[in-house]
Amino acid sequence: MELVSCYPLFLLGLLSVSLAYVEPPTNVTLRCHNLHNILEWDYGILLPDIRFKVTIQPYSGSLLVFWVEPQELQLDISSLSDSGNSYYLEVIAVVGENESEPAPRKGITFSYFQDSLTRQKCSLDLPPVNVTTEPYDHVQYRFIHPWLWHHQTLSDNPNPKSRQKKSNDAPTKNQLPQFSYAVLVGSQKKQHYYSCVKPVCEKKIPVDNAQEKHCLNITGEVDRMAVKSTQLYCAMPLMPPEENSYIIYIVIIMLILTTTLLVIVLVYKKKTRASTPFPTSMVCS
């Protein structure tokens, strides 16, 4: 009898729990690349008054809270690109005062600092590289300084937060941060290490001329961020102008030689022809 009377109470409890239960968001993903960071998630059935709360805890700094309307399901957090910091975030669905469990279960940790211990590490792409063949087994490459390249493309969307650098190696107004990089040429084992603080990074490097094509793989680091090449950049098989004029000289010399030879032959022939009638005239006399 006691058990039976308890039953409706138990059911009521279950009912109120299920009513208050808010499904957490699914598939929470962060794409962070080239100082552009987008957080996205999915959600099953959108209840009328649902909203999403994104909480972000920087390693240094105070908790940030963003509210996102259900029609969005994403948040641009490009302002959180400080390579001197790292971030922990989670997404919560909120209906009235009821909140879902945070998603993903373990949260997302990310940073642009290449040696950070976060699960997600964000990086920069190397700008396009021009490679040209030079005489005497060299190639020349040129590319825009990665920091300049990525902050130029961001200039439509100024991002003062990412410029707040705390460390003393921070770039000042007119100085670019040092880009330290390694160049790997084709299948050569040896890497060449260089650095660049100029708006355009360029260098002439020796190559093994046994190879027909010279492809460069450039990877490096700027302001503690990893800079990766999305492709190999290869030397244009163009003939440098010096070699072109060299061939022209050879052709000219050959022409002069053949002309002189022709003249010599003609003169010789004329002489021999002039001397052939000689014996007959001798006979006449």
Ligand X SMILES: *[C@@H]1O[C@H](CO)[C@@H](O)[C@H](O)[C@H]1NC(C)=O
* Nearest approach, Cβ of residue 262 and ligand X (Å): 45
> What is the pairing mode between strands 124-125 and 225-228?
parallel
* Nearest approach, Cβ of residue 26 and ligand X (Å): 4
> What is the pairing mode between strands 233-234 and 130-134?
unpaired
Give yes or no for residue 63 binding ligand X (CB under 6 A). no
Q: Which stretch binds ligand X (CB under 6 A): 62-70, 95-103, 116-124, 260-268?
A: 95-103
- 8 Å CB contact between 207 and 185: yes
Secondary structure of residue 153 in the 3-state scheme: helix
CB half-sphere exposure, 253, CA atoms < 13 A: 6
Residue from the set 13, 61, 96, 237 that interacts with ligand X by CB under 6 A? 96
* Nearest approach, Cβ of residue 219 and ligand X (Å): 5
- 8 Å CB contact between 84 and 113: yes
The residue among 96 and 237 lying less far from ligand X, judged by its C-beta, is 96
The residue among 20 and 257 lying less far from ligand X, judged by its C-beta, is 20
* Strand partners of residue 90: 55
- 8 Å CB contact between 116 and 142: no
The beta-carbon contacts of 273-281 under 8 Å, at least 24 apart in sequence, are: none
Q: Which stretch binds ligand X (CB under 6 A): 74-82, 83-91, 225-233, 262-270?
A: 225-233
Residue from the set 151, 219, 226, 234 that interacts with ligand X by CB under 6 A? 219
CB half-sphere exposure, 190, CA atoms < 13 A: 5
How far is 109 from 119, CA to CA, in rounded Å?
Answer: 6
Residues 175-214 within binding reach of ligand X (CB under 6 A)? 184, 200
* Nearest approach, Cβ of residue 60 and ligand X (Å): 31
The residue among 202 and 208 lying less far from ligand X, judged by its C-beta, is 202
Residue from the set 26, 164, 258, 259 that interacts with ligand X by CB under 6 A? 26
- 8 Å CB contact between 87 and 111: yes
Q: Which stretch binds ligand X (CB under 6 A): 2-10, 19-27, 55-63, 173-181?
A: 19-27
Q: In what order do the strands lie in the sheet with 130-134?
A: 130-134, 138-144, 200-206
Q: Which stretch binds ligand X (CB under 6 A): 68-76, 90-98, 163-171, 237-245?
A: 90-98
- 8 Å CB contact between 184 and 141: no
Residue from the set 144, 205, 226, 234 that interacts with ligand X by CB under 6 A? 144
* Nearest approach, Cβ of residue 109 and ligand X (Å): 20
Residues at the contact surface with ligand X, assessed by CB under 6 A: 19-20, 26-27, 42, 96-98, 130, 142-144, 184, 200, 217, 219, 229, 231-232
